[in-house]
Amino acid sequence: MSDKKLQRSNSTRYYFDDPDMDFIFQWSAGAAKTGGLDAGELFHVAARIADGDTASWVREFEAYGDDQRELAETWRRRGWRRSAGEAQMKAYYCYRQAWQFAGRGELFEPLIHKYEAAFAEAVDLLGLPLEFLEVPFEDNSLPGLRLDAGPDAPTLIVIGGGDTGREDMYHLIGYNAWQRGYTAVIVDMPGQGSTPLRGLYFMAETERPIGAVVDHLVDKYGQDPARLAIVGMSGGGYMVSRAVMTERRLAACVASTPVSDMGQILPVGVVRAMATEGAMRDSFQMYLWRSGCDTPEEFAELLTTFRADPAQVRCAYLAIAGAGESPTFLEQARRWHDGLPVATKALVELDAASGADAHCQINNPTRLAQEICGWLDEVLPRP
Amino acid sequence: MSDKKLQRSNSTRYYFDDPDMDFIFQWSAGAAKTGGLDAGELFHVAARIADGDTASWVREFEAYGDDQRELAETWRRRGWRRSAGEAQMKAYYCYRQAWQFAGRGELFEPLIHKYEAAFAEAVDLLGLPLEFLEVPFEDNSLPGLRLDAGPDAPTLIVIGGGDTGREDMYHLIGYNAWQRGYTAVIVDMPGQGSTPLRGLYFMAETERPIGAVVDHLVDKYGQDPARLAIVGMSGGGYMVSRAVMTERRLAACVASTPVSDMGQILPVGVVRAMATEGAMRDSFQMYLWRSGCDTPEEFAELLTTFRADPAQVRCAYLAIAGAGESPTFLEQARRWHDGLPVATKALVELDAASGADAHCQINNPTRLAQEICGWLDEVLPRP
């Protein structure tokens, strides 16, 4: 498939002809339930964007974020604390989505600071039981979020992918898992979120940072490994799969999708296309930033080292894949599932009718949480 | 404006060219946060509907509701109670939206029974503190829902409009108000919901059924009128405005929008157009059913009796209007606000940038709840 493009969303066009803009639009629409923009707001912004024109995308989302931030401040002064928090969360969402296509231009770093600040302000105003973590990692640290579901709750570590930061995973999984009784610990792996600003980049040996997260949970929170699970989304599907080959303090692992060979999914031909075609080319600049690479070829070479082997896994495992993704995702998920030498394993393939067929189920986070938490409820021992 | 069509949604097209299909689509997209379909599910259904073809709309939404109901049953058997409840709520949502364009065909009544059953099952599975009410009304009764926010909570009576039933108002306002600390009492007025099946039809004298609701709350729940408010949406904006001309046991009233002269909004020319044009003609059959009328002319004649006068109002009043509605809505809202002889009153006009500019703020129910509850928090006395 070296001459093909990466396919992430389903065949239903939501708003944009540019496939990557439409993917991010779908993702944004799916996030309404956890505090992203309401439908009317999202379509209002979208209607002001020229299809495929990333400059107008960045401008309109940032401007709408500024409007939401101003509204939040007005409401905060008026004593409408919850509403102010909701508007700040929408401001966060706008800044973060603006950033997706900011392409390392002059707005790239300022938008990171704006979305991080808005998210933190929203958490404070909403009174969420959410702690900002710094997980010690070698001579550095990994930023995280811990959404506390109480002393008897099992813990779910949440790992995102190549596009995402901890705040994204709060919306895609963390909040929903917390509502279902899981303490969600969302940690940025090297290269994710804003960690390149602290000199951390994508790496193959993900057992190192994930091991550091488990260490931290055991040491600081007295975490019982029998009640500890991990989920990885997109590129995180590689990161967690690699880690559980050797990390034995995780009772269960979920991935959407499990990735055993990243180089097969993103061979150099596909990577080169990402670097040049459509709105994706601006996101691609961000992938280079996350990987510490200078060229598409160097990035593709790094990805060939991202390999995992199911034969070494010993924990319970749930593989999730969507019918709207590139077929390679589904093929690797099936191969991974078949190769797992464990008694407790499941493979969930979500078809178009599920409305959860896009990459990472971004078009139906409810279904994602239902599948993950339903399965974990059955697999993890009760307290 | 007798030669114009009723305008309910904003100028941004979401998915359908047929304006009334697109309005219901916008409404459905806005309901994701309260348990309607997730974005991926809604777009999947929409993609299978032929634009403007109500038969395909009804078929696809009903079929998707059946799928959700089956999923709910699978999950219930597996012990995934919360997820089963969520799927049942989505089944409800599909059946109800299918019904919007069922046009009194052979599916019209069966769909009512299906959506009522799915909603009740969802409430049970989700464990909501929701009571199904029968409010005594003359020689009949009015069906309602009471979502209990605890003994110290103020109470908000929620009244829908010409299209809606109590379950719709649960999604548009009730659930959100409850989350903000209000006990929501949602009651179908004569003609709303499935009340035509019990021989009740739209009536001008709305102080009678609304008085019955207040009686019931005072008698059965010991409601303090100083902590009792009411909100009316769409046609309910007329119903509550008329009622508070004489009902003095309501401390505050909200309407989106206040309607003082329904005949001006829906003159016979507009009504005749509704009866014949586009997908609306099937909804129009439902309006005739709700009103007990046989012809557009008879219906239009009834509407001319729906008149209210702000000069007689004595309670605090919040008027809300959207820039995407027919200008007559906004004009009447402004006139109503200006004519109110009360000290505590406010007029909120929501522009396109608010994403809440559609009729009843169906495209941004979050903003609707923020405006209503924020204002009520300031106006009602603390316990």
The CATH number assigned to the domain holding A45 equals 1.20.1440.110
* Same domain for A379 and A331: yes
* Same domain for B122 and B73: yes
Q: What is the CATH number of the domain that holds A168?
A: 3.40.50.1820
Please give the average per-residue pLDDT across A189-207, as a whole number: 98
Find the length of chain A. Answer: 383
d(CA B186, CA B168): 10
Pick from B74, B97, B128: which residue ends a domain? B128
* Same domain for B26 and B109: yes
Range of the structural domain that residue B219 is part of: 130-261+306-383
* Same domain for B353 and B204: yes
Give me the total of CB pairs closer than 8 Å, taking one residue from chain A and one from chain B: 128
A248 within domain boundaries: yes
Confidence label for B1 from pLDDT (cuts 50, 70 and 90): very low
Please give the average per-residue pLDDT across A219-247, as a whole number: 98
Closest CA to B120 of B69, B176, B195: B69
Question: Residues near B76 by Cβ (< 8 Å), separated by ≥ 6?
Answer: B84, B125
Listed by number, the residues of chain B in 142-171 with a beta carbon closer than 8 Å to a beta carbon of chain A are: none
B4 within domain boundaries: no
* Same domain for A121 and A161: no
Nearest CA in chain B to A72: B370
> Do residues B193 and B143 touch, judged by C-beta distance below 8 A?
yes
Nearest CA in chain A to B181: A82
Q: In this predicted model, what pLDDT tens digit does every residue of A266-292 receive, in sequence order?
A: 999 999 999 999 999 999 999 999 999
B174 within domain boundaries: yes
* ipTM of the complex as predicted: 0.96
B11 within domain boundaries: no
- B2 has a pLDDT exceeding 50: no
User: Residues of B with CB below 8 A from A377's CB?
Assistant: 79-80
A266 within domain boundaries: no
* Same domain for B365 and B236: yes
Dihedral sign for Cα atoms in the order A14, A10, B37, A29: negative
Of the candidates A38, A44, A355, the beta carbon closest to that of B366 is on A38
A370 within domain boundaries: yes
Dihedral sign for Cα atoms in the order A77, A83, A86, A90: negative
Q: In this predicted model, what pLDDT tens digit does every residue of A3-37 receive, in sequence order?
A: 467 777 667 899 999 999 999 999 999 999 999 99
* Same domain for B24 and B95: yes
* Same domain for A105 and A35: yes
Q: In this predicted model, what pLDDT tens digit does every residue of B135-150 receive, in sequence order?
A: 999 999 999 999 999 9
Which of A43, A49, A94, A176 should one mutate to test binding to chain B, selecting the residue with the greatest count of B CBs within 10 A? A43
* Same domain for A368 and A220: yes
Find the length of chain B. Answer: 383
Of the candidates B14, B33, B370, the beta carbon closest to that of A80 is on B370
Of the candidates B41, B75, B363, the beta carbon closest to that of A40 is on B363
Q: CA-CA distances (angstroms) from residue A140 to A143, A201, A203, B197?
A: 10, 12, 14, 69
Pick from A83, A101, A128: which residue ends a domain? A128
Q: What local confidence, expressed as pLDDT, does residue A2 receive? A: 38
Joined tokens for residue B191: 């003609």
Listed by number, the residues of chain B in 195-224 with a beta carbon closer than 8 Å to a beta carbon of chain A are: none
- A108 has a pLDDT exceeding 50: yes
* Same domain for B142 and B116: no
B200 within domain boundaries: yes
Nearest CA in chain A to B86: A366
B272 within domain boundaries: no
User: Residues of B with CB below 8 A from A374's CB?
Assistant: 75, 78, 80, 83
* Count of domains for chain A: 2
Pick from B128, B144, B167: which residue ends a domain? B128
Put simply, whether A289 touches B (Cβ < 8 Å) is no
Other CB atoms within a 10 A radius of the CB of residue B2 amount to: 12
Q: In this predicted model, what pLDDT tens digit does every residue of B60-115 receive, in sequence order?
A: 999 999 999 999 999 999 999 999 999 999 999 999 999 999 998 899 999 999 99
Any alpha helices (H) in B149-221, and if so which ranges? 166-169, 175-179, 207-221
User: Residues of B with CB below 8 A from A67's CB?
Assistant: 353
* Same domain for B135 and B117: no
* Same domain for A148 and A68: no
